[in-house]
Structure 1
Amino acid sequence: MAREESVAVVGAGLAGCLLATLLGRRGVPVTVYERRPDPRVAGPERGRSINLAISARGLAALEEVGLREEALARALPMHGRMVHPLGGARNFQRYSADGTRAINSISRAELNIALLDAAEATPGVTVRFGHRLTNVDAAKGRLTLETPDGVVTEDAGVVLAGDGAYSAARRTIEGVEPFTHTQDFLEHGYKELTIPPTAGGDFALDPDALHIWPRGNAMMIALPNLDRSFTCTLFWPKADFDALDTPRRVREHFRARYPDVAGLMPNLADDFAHNPVGSLVTVRCWPWVRYGRGATVALLGDAAHAIVPFYGQGANCAFEDCVEIDRCLEETGGNWRRALSIYQERRKPNTDAIAEMALDNFVEMRDRVASPAFRLGQAAQHALERRLPGRYVSRYELVSFSTVPYARIPERIRRQNRTLAAAGLAAFAATGLTVRAARAALRRRAAAAPAGSG
């Protein structure tokens, strides 16, 4: 086997498993290395699920490996957001103009298991758990890994790193050649809580919605699960987590700030005390591909471009990376160097674009959605979408319900707005001309009328 044909995928998460399956179906031998134990045996880490909102891009990628329908069978559709303002009535805001489109709440752990099963069922794919990457030597084409049985080395001609925002593979190539890398952390962290089913076994909240409790500089969201529970995620300034240091303070805070849901969480104090606080980071780096004498190393998913979760696009975006790599291999006849060069050039503008949109959507979710002005603007957008189908499309629709490249969305929105503004000015000008013409006609008629005709 030629060295270049030996492919290592670092990370058996969502992207790593999808990519391994795509490559295996192409006839490429792949070994996947994962630092953690098999999640099908060990179970998921406590408080680390962050339910996924799979939408059009992720579903299109899963379709490539025959998992679209299986994923939808494990998911619950959410046709809009249910906003819970403090001191006001909750309100439902549909995601699409016609009310038919939905994002899909699915357990990250369950989807990961489905992708793991698909990868291991693909001829040529091997998954090795308990293998923690410590070094990639691109000159020699060699990986160094720590295992329960000691340190081992493995050879590979292509190393594809999908090992997350704090990628070990990325660390090993920093500083070797010109490489820019930034990690921008929000002052906010996240913590998961649970709303169990009611005593009667039903959902405690409407399962057709992503629930949001906007609180200015903080918020909580809740997504439904198939077992009729909800996974809640707090997005708070990190100092606020530290301030609630006793069960009493936790319960008092929730009764004051989240009064309609505090009584629905019997394990609130325990979950708050024991579930970890995670960080929210945006990763930007370049280049994503390093060409060594012995191996080509490429980054994908969060290892290349981690984003905050406020547009629900992290997994969807990473899945698009995998499909793009597969597409580039097809276009180049399997030439890895050319394929990965094209891949990074195509994907970088798109991942930069969604990173900015995700940050902006955090402000919208925690603050704007509770505003009557926001709701009025959203209603106006939906009205335009119904009146001008295909010609006017909201940003949310383009991000969540289409596969339009992310980088094209901001310019399309600007173009739509310019067209609408021009049309509005033209209508205003036409109206003004009509008024002036009518006034002139009245003056002419008055001048020509006989005296006393009143």
Structure 2
Amino acid sequence: MTEKKPHVAVIGGGLVGALNACFLAKRNFKVDVYERRDDIRKAEHVKGRSINLALSTRGRTALRMVGLEEEVLKNGIPMHARMIHGVDGSRNPILYGKEDQYIMSVDRRRLNEVLLSAAEDNPNVTCYFEHKVVRCDFTTGEVEFINKEGKKVQNKVDLIVGNDGAFSAVRKEMMRATLLDFQQEYIPHGYMELTIPPSPKDEFQMEVNYLHIWPRNEYMMIALPNLDKSFTCTLFMPFDIFASIKTEEDLMRFFRDKFPDAIPLMGEETLKQIYMSSKPLPMVSIKCSPYHVKDKGVIMGDAAHAMVPFYGQGMNAGFEDCIVLDEMLDKYNNDFAKALPAYSEFRKVDDHAICDLAMYNYVEMRKSVNSKLFLMRKKLDNLLFTIFPSSWVPLYTMVAFTRTRYHECIEKRKHQDEILNKVLYIGGVILFGSLAVSVVQILNQNGVSIHSLKDHFTQLWEAYF
């Protein structure tokens, strides 16, 4: 790079784009942010976006690096555990980690507004709204937009950064310019947002510092607390089950059968009104590689690795992208020709890993938490973590409360599983052996031949192990 201040176009003024603008401006780059939608700070309603987000260590670290962590945390609500709601109305908490470890429920819109305002407070940043990308030239650095008046606008920059979401226009342009592998998967489940309002006394209707989950094996509902003392509920189900609920009677029959304790919390009429006026929305998982083109283009956040929401890491992973790019720019002294390939190669293995973990965690949240074996594993995980805090860290703890690389989290979890399987096998052998000895002694006392039971013990051993 020359001594001239690098000029960067950040495409997308959402969470990752606005934070990235803060990071790049901190490097004294000239940054132009282009957002396809209107300024979220002026919009009355924001459609098609989940209200709540779960902020954890990776995201908090990124916010801290641009001086925004405390500003965001003061408008968040800590969640220390999952609260599991049984069909019978029972509630059982499952801690995320140690008692002092928690994730934060934060409001998407408020967070986006904080990030945009922080970016614009820097004199190096200029934001342009209602600008739609129509063309990117990754040889010259030229970007062409259509503005709100329908006129073409062009800019020529040193670097084009695509932070424009799962259906990224920048990524589409990159696919024309380079050999970019691309994988997109829609899962057969959709989601719909419902609500639990504050009580008539303006209080929370459920325990506040929890992520509430109604796991029903094939589907689930979750609820996150809001500052106005409401809860945002999200119902995740296969599309065919959504389609089977055609009338208010169908809806209430379904909820009375599967989520009976939620009805008085939501209010029957409110539930009917929201559900019948809404439609389930799809969820997509996207992987691609590489993330860059030459020294002129790079994609980050959902543009590079959109994921289903079940690990609560979409935003956190996107924010961590900003950290990793910043580290690569430091390492290579702002030389885009070296920093971009290094970023792309380093980051893709972790982004692909968290996409896979997010898919896995849906099964855990809607089904595994109902299993006694799973709950026993969680308790054993936490016990070993307490005894060996430096050498045994549960998977969720690694993902949510450390910056251990995502792919390393998976590798360490596989190693832990191998150890636990051996322990359980040995324990099973000892238990079975002790039981067998006791049974044989009792049978001998009652005159029963051991030989006559040989086949039965063999069959039982094979079935058990």
> Shared fold (TM-score greater than 0.5)?
yes
Aligned to 2:299: 299
Q: Are 2:79 and 2:209, in contact at CA under 8 Å, matched by a contact in 1? A: yes
Give how far 1:242 is off: 2.3
Amino acid at match of 1:289: H
Aligned to 1:438: none
| Pair 1:222-2:223 in alignment | yes
Give how far 1:44 is off: 4.2
Give how far 1:413 is off: 2.2
User: Per-residue displacement from partner, 1:83-106 (whole Å, max 9, x unpaired)?
Assistant: 11223622111111x322111100
Rounded Cα–Cα distance in structure 2 between residues aligned with 1:40 and 1:276: 26
Query: Number of residues paired by the alignment?
Result: 427
Q: Are 1:47 and 1:276, in contact at CA under 8 Å, matched by a contact in 2? A: no
User: What is the correspondence of 1:149-228 to structure 2 with a 5 Å cutoff?
Assistant: 149-150=149-150, 151-228=152-229
User: What is the correspondence of 1:252-331 to structure 2 with a 5 Å cutoff?
Assistant: 252-266=253-267, 267-291=270-294, 296-331=296-331
Give how far 1:276 is off: 4.3
User: Per-residue displacement from partner, 1:92-147 (whole Å, max 9, x unpaired)?
Assistant: 11111x32211110011111111111111112101111111122122332212121
Aligned to 1:74: 75
Rounded Cα–Cα distance in structure 2 between residues aligned with 1:126 and 1:274: 39
User: Relative to structure 1, is the Cα distance of residues 176 and 263 closer, same or farther in structure 2, using a 3 angstrom cutoff?
Assistant: same
Amino acid at match of 1:86: V
Rounded Cα–Cα distance in structure 2 between residues aligned with 1:24 and 1:423: 52
Rounded Cα–Cα distance in structure 2 between residues aligned with 1:261 and 1:70: 33
Give how far 1:154 is off: 1.9
User: Relative to structure 1, is the Cα distance of residues 177 and 211 closer, same or farther in structure 2, using a 3 angstrom cutoff?
Assistant: same
Rounded Cα–Cα distance in structure 2 between residues aligned with 1:336 and 1:227: 45
Aligned to 1:63: 64
Aligned to 2:109: 109
Give how far 1:160 is off: 0.3
Rounded Cα–Cα distance in structure 2 between residues aligned with 1:272 and 1:302: 28
Rounded Cα–Cα distance in structure 2 between residues aligned with 1:135 and 1:9: 14
Q: Look up the SS of the partner of 1:165 in the other structure.
A: coil
Which structure 2 residue ranges, 5 or more long, are not aligned? 432-465
Aligned to 1:381: 381
Q: Are 2:5 and 2:30, in contact at CA under 8 Å, matched by a contact in 1? A: no
User: Relative to structure 1, is the Cα distance of residues 430 and 283 closer, same or farther in structure 2, using a 3 angstrom cutoff?
Assistant: closer
Aligned to 2:366: 366
Amino acid at match of 1:282: S
User: Per-residue displacement from partner, 1:350-400 (whole Å, max 9, x unpaired)?
Assistant: 111111111111000010112222212211111111122222110011001
CA RMSD for the aligned pairs?
2.2
Q: Look up the SS of the partner of 1:160 in the other structure.
A: strand
| Pair 1:342-2:342 in alignment | yes
Runs of 4+ in 1 over 6 A off after TM superposition: 1-4, 421-431
Q: Are 1:44 and 1:109, in contact at CA under 8 Å, matched by a contact in 2? A: no
Q: Are 1:4 and 1:158, in contact at CA under 8 Å, matched by a contact in 2? A: no
Give how far 1:428 is off: 11
Aligned to 1:409: 409
User: Relative to structure 1, is the Cα distance of residues 82 and 29 closer, same or farther in structure 2, using a 3 angstrom cutoff?
Assistant: same
Q: Look up the SS of the partner of 1:409 in the other structure.
A: helix
Rounded Cα–Cα distance in structure 1 between residues aligned with 2:51 and 2:240: 21
Rounded Cα–Cα distance in structure 1 between residues aligned with 2:309 and 2:271: 23
Rounded Cα–Cα distance in structure 2 between residues aligned with 1:114 and 1:286: 31
Give how far 1:418 is off: 4.3
Aligned to 1:448: none
Aligned to 1:451: none
Give how far 1:184 is off: 0.8
Amino acid at match of 1:288: Y
Q: Look up the SS of the partner of 1:49 in the other structure.
A: coil
Give how far 1:420 is off: 5.7
Q: Are 2:138 and 2:177, in contact at CA under 8 Å, matched by a contact in 1? A: no
Query: Which segment drifts farther, 73-82 or 253-262?
Result: 253-262
Q: Look up the SS of the partner of 2:41 in the other structure.
A: helix
Rounded Cα–Cα distance in structure 2 between residues aligned with 1:188 and 1:429: 41
Q: Are 2:290 and 2:345, in contact at CA under 8 Å, matched by a contact in 1? A: no
Question: TM-score, structure 2 length as denominator?
Answer: 0.87
Rounded Cα–Cα distance in structure 2 between residues aligned with 1:83 and 1:111: 28
User: Per-residue displacement from partner, 1:132-174 (whole Å, max 9, x unpaired)?
Assistant: 1122122332212121112222222210001011111111222
Aligned to 2:144: 144
| Pair 1:34-2:35 in alignment | yes
Give how far 1:20 is off: 0.4
Give how far 1:417 is off: 4.2
Aligned to 2:19: 18
User: Per-residue displacement from partner, 1:8-56 (whole Å, max 9, x unpaired)?
Assistant: 0000011101110111111000000001101111144245224111001
Query: Which segment drifts farther, 349-358 or 411-420?
Result: 411-420
User: What is the correspondence of 1:373-452 to structure 2 with a 5 Å cutoff?
Assistant: 373-418=373-418
User: Relative to structure 1, is the Cα distance of residues 269 and 2 closer, same or farther in structure 2, using a 3 angstrom cutoff?
Assistant: farther
Identity of aligned residues (%): 39
Aligned to 1:442: none
Give how far 1:282 is off: 0.9
User: Per-residue displacement from partner, 1:265-294 (whole Å, max 9, x unpaired)?
Assistant: 232122223344321111011111112xxx
Aligned to 1:436: none
Aligned to 2:449: none
User: What is the correspondence of 1:98-137 to structure 2 with a 5 Å cutoff?
Assistant: 98-137=98-137
Q: Look up the SS of the partner of 2:222 in the other structure.
A: strand
Query: Which segment drifts farther, 151-160 or 340-349?
Result: 151-160
Rounded Cα–Cα distance in structure 1 between residues aligned with 2:420 and 2:283: 36
Query: Which segment drifts farther, 403-412 or 15-24?
Result: 403-412
Amino acid at match of 1:280: M
Amino acid at match of 1:163: D
Rounded Cα–Cα distance in structure 2 between residues aligned with 1:375 and 1:417: 15
